Amino acid sequence: MNSLSPRAAVGLFLIVVLAWGVNWSVTKQLVQLVPPLWSSAIRSWIALAGLFVILGLSNNLVIPERRDVPVVLSVALLHMTLFSILVAAGLRFLPASKGIVLGYTTPLWVAIAAPLLGKDTLTAPKLAGAVLGLLGLAVILNPSSIDWSNANVVLGAGMVILAAISWAANIIYVRAHRWIASPLQLLFWQVLVATVVLSTLAMVIDGLPHVEWSWRLAMLFLYSGLIGSALAYWAMSMVNKSISALTTSLGTTGTPLVGIASAAILLGEPLDLSLAVAAGLIVTGIGLATLGDRLLRSQATASG
């Protein structure tokens, strides 16, 4: 598949940001109706079917080579399975608006952990970004924003933060992996592994699902599986081929803002001051960390 024109790539990227942002409100509604494990598993089956069609029509269905198996497992288990489960479970107790801000602290954990693991260098912009992000985290977790006397709310916040850390661990590994096939070509297999694992866990832990199906529930699952997952995964792979990594990284910071707005519109969640301040600090921190990473890579390229 050829790269997109700049205008088409930007348009597709905006669709990704909107799809992912709204998907947090959709997930919040799903987990009120279906247990988190089955919610994630059913959505994953729908995404798998959608990707089979999209990648099949574009001739991007390939058999992974042995050297790509670790990255398939890493993405499938750390991001598509563990992240999905923890977010779905956490959103049972948290507002979607707070959940998405906590969930998108992922780049901050990457900025902190990668240098400690010897996978990156800590620059001044990245350090400043991490500090701002952690301040944002402190704001959203302060007692006036999170009810620390409610064990379920604390558990929900902890689950979403662990989800962000899990995604960060996957990102650090993916950066170091030497790809044989493209990320787009491996996408179907990553979702397949995640779907099998999620379905197995759901069956073992929860047994057969007892779901009261309705048109609303079906539409929520179709959105989450086809738009929020399959289309967004495919579109992001295409965007990454056509827009610089810096642009996509900074642009993705718009996702929490879309998520907060959609939670207010779709779920009627209030927009309190602490949430706005936290989102601003975290988004700014992610931007600084991303710029620091870009500066470091540019210096490495210049020095050969």
Q: Which of 158-162, 226-230, 241-245, 299-303 has the weakest average pLDDT?
A: 299-303
Q: Is residue 55 part of a domain?
A: yes
Q: Is residue 231 part of a domain?
A: yes
Q: Is residue 262 part of a domain?
A: yes
Assign 213 to helix, strand or coil: coil
Q: How many CA atoms lie within 13 A of 258 on its CB side?
A: 18
Q: Are 236 and 258 in contact (CB under 8 A)?
A: no
Q: Is residue 131 part of a domain?
A: yes
* CA–CA distances in Å: residue 187 to residues 130, 176, 193: 30, 18, 10
| Cα gap 83→167, rounded to integer Å | 6
> For residue 34, which phi and psi values (nearest 5 degrees)?
-135, 140
Q: Is residue 1 part of a domain?
A: no
Q: Are 83 and 163 in contact (CB under 8 A)?
A: yes
Q: Which domain holds residue 184?
A: 6-302
DSSP 29-91: HHHHHS-HHHHHHHHHHHHHHHHHHHHHHTT---PPPGGGHHHHHHIIIIIIIIIHHHHHHHT
Q: Which of 50-54, 117-121, 175-179 has the weakest average pLDDT?
A: 117-121
| Top-ranked range on mean pLDDT: pick from 56-60, 96-100, 252-256 | 96-100
pLDDT digits (tens, 9 = 90+) for 129-187: 888 988 999 998 888 888 889 999 999 999 999 999 999 999 889 888 888 998 889 99
Q: Which of 92-106, 124-138, 184-198, 209-223 has the weakest average pLDDT?
A: 124-138
Q: How many CA atoms lie within 13 A of 55 on its CB side?
A: 24
CA dihedral over 202, 204, 208, 210, signed as positive or negative: negative
pLDDT digits (tens, 9 = 90+) for 33-45: 999 999 999 999 9
- Of 209, 98, 90, 235, the C-alpha closest to 155 is 90
Q: Is residue 238 part of a domain?
A: yes
Number of structural domains found in the chain: 1
> What is the DSSP-derived secondary structure letter of residue 146?
S
